[in-house]
Amino acid sequence: MSNLTRIIVFLFIIISLQDCIQTSSQPDNNVKIRTRDGVILSGKFVPPKIRKKFTFIMIHGLGSNKSEWIKFAEIISNKGYGYFIYDLRGHGESNRDTKNREIDYRYFITPGPGSEWNLMVDDLSYVIKYLVHKNINKNRIGIIGASLGANIALMYASRHKFIPVVILLSPGWNYAGLNIESAVKEYSGRSIAIAVSPGDKYSYESSVSIHEILKRKNNKTEFFIGTGANHGVQMFDGKFEYEIINWIENQINGLENGKKI
């Protein structure tokens, strides 16, 4: 074996070991992230158990808060993945700005460009920056959103191609002025799953249409059907969430093995 070959083999081993070692980041139950307009987002971060594992951002629905994701997040964490859950601006503990003014979604102005609703999408950029600061590779970040959070997830991912996996629970064409028509057209070349219950009429009809458009664009898509009229994380019944997690793991394995997902 030549010296050059020995060096290459040595470097390969070092790189492989770096991917497999435990992440140096520590959990943080009280994350505070300041946005450009001064809103303080409140979140919780649990890093992946090993560096190469993905980290998932989970976004709750309108009028809810990050706690709706706790059980699902614990399952994800037990499988070695990292997660970040947070309260959307005006929700839960994300209810103040740097001047200590109260922020409440119930008093947000009419939806549209520049509104507090649209800034919810921009807020994800600050979450990503936080994760990168915590040594999370931005190419190993997936986004899971429920209801309004699903629309936010898709709108952000459609604009940022480094997000390889998106899961939408009960999306709708338009929630609180967050219309995802353009986002559906722009999202391509990456994995996406949609989960919805047939009795959740508006979301179901929206989801069927969204899925058909994505399939025509040759995206890797999956469609999960919940029960009754359950909406968002209400679809989790002890079994349904594992169907979604199994799909996630198949997509991640494909990505890590160099396959297009």
Instruction: Specify the pLDDT at position 1.
Output: 56
Q: Are 146 and 60 in contact (CB under 8 A)?
A: yes
Instruction: Specify the pLDDT at position 22.
Output: 58
Segment 109-125 shows an average pLDDT of 91
pLDDT, tens digit, for every residue of 220-246?
A: 899 999 999 999 999 999 999 999 999
Instruction: Specify the pLDDT at position 16.
Output: 41
* φ, ψ of residue 195 in degrees (nearest 5): -125, 130
Amino acid at the residue 146: A
Instruction: Specify the pLDDT at position 51.
Output: 82
Segment 103-124 shows an average pLDDT of 92
Give the domain ranges of the chain: 24-256
Segment 130-151 shows an average pLDDT of 97
Residue range 24-256 in CATH 3.40.50.970: no
Instruction: Specify the pLDDT at position 218.
Output: 74
In which band, very low, low, confident or very high, does the pLDDT at 24 lie, cut at 50, 70 and 90? low
Is pLDDT of 77 > 80? yes
Residues 6+ apart with CB under 8 A from 171: 145, 147, 150, 151, 154, 180, 194, 196, 203, 206, 207, 210
- How far apart, in whole angstroms, are the C-alpha atoms of residue 253 and residue 183? 26
Residues 6+ apart with CB under 8 A from 235: 169, 170, 195, 196, 197, 226, 227, 241
Instruction: Specify the pLDDT at position 111.
Output: 79
Instruction: Specify the pLDDT at position 257.
Output: 67
Strand residues in 19-75 grouped as ranges (E)? 28-34, 40-46, 55-59
- How far apart, in whole angstroms, are the C-alpha atoms of residue 128 and residue 126? 5
With a pLDDT cut of 70, the percent of the chain lying above it is 89
CA 241 and chain centroid, separation: 15
What mean pLDDT, rounded, does the chain reach? 90
Is pLDDT of 17 > 70? no
Is pLDDT of 166 > 90? yes
Burial zone of 113 (CB within 10 Å; 0-12 exposed, 13-18 middle, 19+ buried): exposed
* Residue 102 DSSP label: B
DSSP, collapsed to helix, strand or coil, labels residue 238 as coil
What does DSSP say about strands 191-196 and 165-169: parallel, antiparallel, or unpaired? parallel
**Helices and strands in the chain, H and E counts:** 7, 10
pLDDT, tens digit, for every residue of 84-96?
A: 999 999 999 999 9
Give which of 12, 42, 48 is closest to 29, Cα–Cα.
42
Segment 112-118 shows an average pLDDT of 88
